[in-house]
Homo-oligomer: A and B are copies of this chain.
Amino acid sequence: MHPVDRDRLVSLRREFHRHPEPAWREFWTTARIVEELDRIGVDDLFVGPDALDADARMGLPADADFDAWRDRARDAGVDPDRLDRLDGGHTGAIAVLDGDRAGPTVALRVDIDGLPREESDDPDHHPAAAGFRSETGAMHACGHDAHATIGLGVLEALSDRDFAGRLNVLFQPAEEVVGGAAPMAESGHIDDVDYLLALHIGLDHPTGQVVAGIEGFLAVSHFRAEFGGEGSHAGGHPAEGRNAVQAMATAVQNLYAIPRHEDGATRVNAGDVGGGTAANIVPEQAYIEGEVRGETTALMEYMRDRADRVLDQAAAMHDCEVGIDTSGQAPSAENDPELVDVVEAVAGRTEGVESVLRHDDLGGSEDATYLMRHVQDRGGKAAFVCVGTDHPGGHHTATFDVDEDSLPVGVAVLADTITHLGREAP
């Protein structure tokens, strides 16, 4: 294994941090990753449309959104031919590195998208003080800049090929909309994977701590419901309208009132709603962007069935139409204990790791579960590893930041685990 170059990792991470791009618009990010992979030298490389089953993508933005971010990437120096390949939401990449001897096929999944939110410009916020605050209006507020960096770092560390088997690193787009894992799972590139490692940084664990297997993924389904009625003058013709806001409000009340299920935890949220145009017009349009979750996939599906029923009948009650789109979805998943054993053991002897937890609960959702299940359904094993990092603000907040000391720790734990898995091969 090549020694880990902390400075290069820090420099790369800051570059990514300055250029966050939201789901399916990771144009600059993908291009920069490819550039770095060219430098490292990998054995195979699938970029954008070649790394995805495009039909399986979820949570795509409107076309106009692609244009603005593509233009931004071009202005930031991305090669136009490269951009043409990525356009329309064909982002991400899969890099393949072959060890110098036979062994298992391992996949490492890192996600690369940013969040559609402003970054703090408080001088106490390190990226602002140190000059690598976001330049795009979006923000790496969940540490995916570190994920992409660690993915590249692992490839570089193992680029001496001193390991058994094959390594695929999945630079996955669109995790934040729960939409990028399914198309990568369906791409055909991970069908033969023996071990899948998914990575997350932070999650309230400090620098120096590693969690070998994050548990408690809630299956999730994101949806968008569009209600259509008919406008009318609220003073002159109130009864001529078909009120889409009444339909939406009735739906919101009843979505939250879906009966709790005895088989386990469930969630529902109408997180982004709106409707109408002016105080004096009976509202013609309304929408709900919402989600349901379940401790199991079956519980999530129970909630989703009930939610669809509520949405349909709320529209019908107010003589409106409704269209419901699934904009993202992921199952629940569990770690394989054998693989967690390996991570736990390796992490315990890695420099920079001060404590190792076997398990902790996420209590949220992650579309890595799609990849985990895909691998497990074909006989492989999967684990979701957390590399701790001190982070001053919570995930998704304006002051989120990572402790860059955790970057080499992450590279070491993962590269060592991959090497170890080769040794374990029969």
Q: A interface vs B, CB < 8 Å? A: 218, 220, 222-223, 233-241, 243, 245-246, 248-250, 252-254, 256-257, 259-283, 286, 289-291, 293, 302, 309-310, 313-314, 316-319, 327, 362-365, 396
Contacts and interface: CB of A to CB of B under 8 A. Distances in A.
A408 B286 CA distance: 43
Contacts of A249: 248-250, 252-253, 270, 273
7 tightest Cβ-Cβ pairs between the two chains A and B: A256-B257, A274-B274, A313-B317, A234-B269, A249-B252, A235-B364, A239-B261
12 contacts: A234-B291, A238-B269, A246-B252, A246-B254, A249-B270, A272-B278, A272-B279, A273-B286, A279-B290, A280-B291, A310-B317, A316-B316
A271 B276 contact: yes
Given A235-B364, A249-B253, A363-B262, A309 B319 contact: yes
A282 B281 CA distance: 28
Contact of A274 (B239, B243, B275, B314): B275
Count copies of this chain in the complex.
4
A326 to B, nearest CB: 11
B238 A259 contact: yes
B235 A246 contact: no
Contacts of A291: 234, 279-280
Contacts of A273: 245, 248-249, 273-276, 283, 286
Contacts of A274: 273-275
Given A234-B267, A239-B302, A272-B276, 6 more contacts: A234-B291, A235-B293, A235-B363, A239-B259, A249-B252, A271-B280
A18 to B, nearest CB: 23
Contacts of A283: 270-273
A254 to B, nearest CB: 6
